[in-house]
Amino acid sequence: MKSRLVAEFLGTLWLVLGGCGSAVLAAKVLSTDPTPVNLGIGFVGVALAFGLTVMTAAYAFGHLSGGHFNPAVTLGLAVAKRVEWAAVLPYIIAQVIGGTVGAAILYVIAGGKAGFSATASGFAANGYGAHSPAGYSMLAALVCEIVLTCIFLFIILGSTDDRAPQGFAPIAIGLGLTLIHLISIPVTNTSVNPARSLAVAWFAGGWALKQVWLFWVAPIIGAVIAGALYRSLTDEKVDSHELSEARVNEARA
């Protein structure tokens, strides 16, 4: 368990530092010599950064802990019976601490630029209403986070199934997370991960901490729905297969 928790800590740290770091440090970089030019990576770059961090972390630490790096993923996998319930709370604690350390490192780096303020910049925090990047409502944010987290869990569960091609799961998961960000950055700044949301909200403070509840509740609902549905579908398939075998055996007898 110790090695599993260290892996979850490090993977979540990397996810927050790499993903949120791209949003805070690299999304918009202006050069004014000789003329103003935006050298930043924009929404597409941030989406790719999140996908790349989860993909690389999954390859680096997945063989140790399963590569969750996300409390919603851990809960969804537990519902789907892919991880034991006894591991859920320790995993979530390791993920929250890892994400917070990653955000703290990012805060130190970002603070190296004169005039930086985590509160004023938002520090890549998730929000709705006035704090949504494009002004989307709380209901829109709630639906978005539930549905996209649900789909994300289906991608994880399907790509890591014993019947899926082996060795490619981190690629599918990374690309899935990239697509999720491309869809939802304008809506909520994209969470689908409570640890990521809380990690930066500590430093943004104010509105970010007041709204962070949605980015725990919605991803967990979406993940639990996906875990239950996937388990139901796989159980149905197993039952159907067993029934077919029984009929074949009965016919032979």
**Quick one: pLDDT at residue 35?**
76
Cα-only R_g, the chain: 20
Residue whose structure tokens are 């597409």: 44
pLDDT exceeding 90 applies to what percent of the chain? Answer: 78
Q: Where are the alpha helices (DSSP H) in 66-117?
A: 71-79, 88-110
**Quick one: pLDDT at residue 230?**
93
C-beta separation of 55 from 170 below 8 A: yes
Confidence tier at 19 by pLDDT (50, 70, 90) = very high
* Whole-number Å distance between alpha carbons of 54 and 217: 22
**Quick one: pLDDT at residue 90?**
96
Question: Between the CA of residue 228 and those of 79, 146, 224, what are the distances in Å?
Answer: 6, 14, 6
Question: Between the CA of residue 106 and those of 15, 51, 197, what are the distances in Å?
Answer: 11, 18, 14
Residue 114 region, left (φ>0) first, then alpha (ψ -120 to 50), else beta?
beta
Q: What angle do CA 125, 128, 132 make, to 5 degrees?
A: 70
Q: What is the pLDDT of residues 90-111, one digit of tens each?
A: 999 999 999 999 999 999 999 9
pLDDT at 141 over 50: yes
pLDDT at 247 over 80: no
Q: What is the average per-residue pLDDT within 144-167?
A: 93
Confidence tier at 236 by pLDDT (50, 70, 90) = low
pLDDT at 45 over 90: yes
CA-CA-CA-CA torsion sign (16, 51, 121, 115): positive
SS3 169: helix
C-beta separation of 207 from 127 below 8 A: yes
